[in-house]
Amino acid sequence: MNIHVGIFSSKHKIAPSKFLDAFSNFVSLFEKSKFDESFQEEKTDVGQAYKASLSFAENEVKRVKPKKIRLKKSNPLSPTA
């Protein structure tokens, strides 16, 4: 789940609809399994959905370079009388 949250919350990653659909499918099946955590070890629909969403996370999510921040040069302070 941490990988998915990291993608959703990042300003530097773009998730395609394939990933979002795969993750949504996994969450739905995981809920229907009453949150059975054995999906990682067994070949179930939940396990296959999990592996599909991980595959999309690793192969389809695009990373975007952060924009450089340009600082404006400030005018030197003028002496006050």
Domain boundaries, the chain: 2-63
Confidence of residue 73 (pLDDT cuts 50, 70, 90): low
pLDDT score of 81 more than 60? no
Name the pTM for this structure.
Answer: 0.63
pLDDT in tens, 22-42: 888 988 999 999 998 888 877
Percent of the chain with pLDDT over 90: 15
Pairing between β-strand 62-63 and β-strand 13-14 as defined by DSSP bridges: antiparallel
pLDDT score of 6 more than 80? no
Q: What number of H helices and E strands is found in the chain?
A: 3, 2
pLDDT score of 14 more than 90? no
